[in-house]
A = this chain, B = another copy of it.
Amino acid sequence: MTRPKQRPLTLRDVSEACGVSEMTVSRVLRNRGDVSATTREKVLEAAKSLGYVPNQIAGSLASQRVNLVAVVIPSLSNMVFPEVLTGINQAFEDTPLQPVVGVTDYLPEKEEQVLYEMLSWRPSGVIIAGLEHSDATRAMLKNAAIPVVEIMDTDGTPIDAMVGISHRRAGREMAAAILKQGYQRIGFLGTKMPLDHRARKRFEGFTEALAKAGVEIEDREFYSGGSALAKGREMTEMMLQRSPDLDFLYFSNDMIGAGGLLYLLDQGIDVPGQIGLAGFNGVELLDGLPRRLATMDACRKEIGTKAAQIILERSQLPEDVLPEDPGHFTLASKISWGDTLRRYRR
């Protein structure tokens, strides 16, 4: 069975169907300028009955305006970036702007490719995760002459605007909280990802604050791939076998932290009496655990919303003006103490 591929409808088809010029049809369909109620009706009906869908490719080329916003993120496989996307989506609801997502798998070369591909659609703005990019990526971003918001992290110098939290400070604050509770023999468990700069910065902030108090991490363990919950379990078991004296475990994300927590509870170990725990991100999942893991909020959705708002504002600015305001926002991430960080009074 073969069938000729039908040609999509054009403005001209609608124009002919209702006896109104293409230009007027275009105006009606975009609610632009004044059109009499009568012709408006006629056009709308013709368009609907034909099933006309405007061609944005042609429209964007003609108007030199594209309602797309490029969103470049490293991953979709943990819950953190989907939540950022939710925030972005919400902020763009009821606006003409539309996010288009590209995933880099934490690889700088892929980031470059993905960005190049997206910029070739001439988006109205870019939201991109992180402050660390290849020279080529930075160059593209600068040359694009559109608003660029770097998100998640604010420890560094952005190309244009940035919205995020200070991961170094997050690490430091958690270290301070842990020390204040009297924990001294601390283990660190994280991902084996040299390219996850935010995890690295948290780690650096953490060790730095410990060092100032004369404390050093006693043991560390890294993983990659697989179920984070299961890995958290395994790593915790291995680490405690190796270093049974530890009294605190700091996990670089909540999922492995949750795995560690479940393991310790299984073993009948007193948490946080014998061992304290903390994670990072503030994921919703923690609400359902037998005990509330201490964590620190990464402000994911808020970051998405704010970044989208910045793009919105700037894309409405007069064409030839760049804003005075640098647009740098460090959101306040706070410790959730939960039940695993405050030592029992004895």
On chain B, the residues within 8 Å of A51 by CB distance are 139-140, 143
Residues of B near A85 (CB, < 8 A) are 76
Copies of this protein chain in the complex: 2
CA distance A100 to B324 in the complex (A): 33
| Residue A23 CB within 8 A of the other chain | no
**Interface size classification for chain A:** 35 or more
| Known contacts A8-B145, A229-B289; A100/B103 CB under 8 A | no
A89 in the interface (beta carbon within 8 A): yes
Report A247-285 CB contacts with B as 1/0, cut-off 8 Å. Answer: 000000001001100100010000000000000000011
Most central of A53, A258, A285, A286 by chain B CB within 10 Å = A53
A279 to chain B, nearest CB (A): 14
Question: Which of the segments A125-133, A314-322, A327-335 contacts the partner chain?
Answer: A314-322
Please encode chain A, from 48 to 92, with 1 for each CB lying within 8 Å of some chain B CB and 0 for all others: 000101111110110000100000000011010011011001000
Closest to A285 in B: B229
Say whether A228 faces chain B, with CB atoms less than 8 Å apart: yes
A76 CA / B83 CA spacing, docked (Å) = 8
Report whether A86 and B82 are in contact in the complex, using a CB–CB cutoff of 8 Å: no
The answer for the CA separation of A138 and B72 in the assembled complex, in Å, is: 31
Write the nearest CB–CB distance from A85 to chain B, whole angstroms: 6
Residues 228-248 of chain A: 1 if any B CB is under 8 Å from the residue's CB, otherwise 0? Answer: 111111000000000000000
Q: Which one of B55, B230, B287 lies within 8 Å of A120 (CB-CB)?
A: B55
Question: Separation in Å of the A8 CB from the closest CB of chain B?
Answer: 7
Q: Is the C-beta of A345 less than 8 angstroms from some C-beta in chain B?
A: no
Query: Which partner residue on chain B sits nearest A265 by CB separation?
Result: B290
Bound form: Cα–Cα A289–B290 in Å: 12
Tell me whether A154 is interfacial, beta carbon within 8 Å.
Answer: no
User: Which of B3, B122, B139 sits near A57, CB closer than 8 Å?
Assistant: B122
Contact between B322 and A3 (Cβ–Cβ < 8 Å)? yes
Query: Is A101 at the interface (CB under 8 A from chain B)?
Result: yes
CB-CB under 8 A for A288 and B2, given A51-B139, A76-B85, A82-B77: no
Q: Mark A214-239, 1 if CB is under 8 A from B, else 0.
A: 00000000000011111111000000
Asked if A288 and B232 sit within 8 Å, CB to CB, the answer is yes
Q: Which of A120, A144, A258, A320 gathers the greatest number of chain B CB atoms within 10 Å?
A: A120
Q: Whose C-beta in chain B lies nearest to the C-beta of A50?
A: B143
Instruction: Report 22 cross-chain contacts, Cβ distance below 8 Å, ordered by A residue.
Output: A2-B322, A3-B322, A51-B143, A53-B119, A53-B120, A56-B120, A57-B122, A61-B61, A76-B82, A76-B85, A77-B82, A89-B103, A100-B101, A226-B284, A227-B284, A227-B285, A227-B286, A228-B288, A229-B284, A229-B287, A262-B288, A262-B289
4 pairs of A and B residues whose beta carbons are closest in the complex: A229-B288, A230-B288, A227-B287, A230-B287
Q: A1-B324, A227-B287, A258-B288 are in contact. List 6 more A-B contacts (CB 8 A).
A: A57-B57, A57-B66, A98-B117, A226-B287, A227-B286, A230-B287
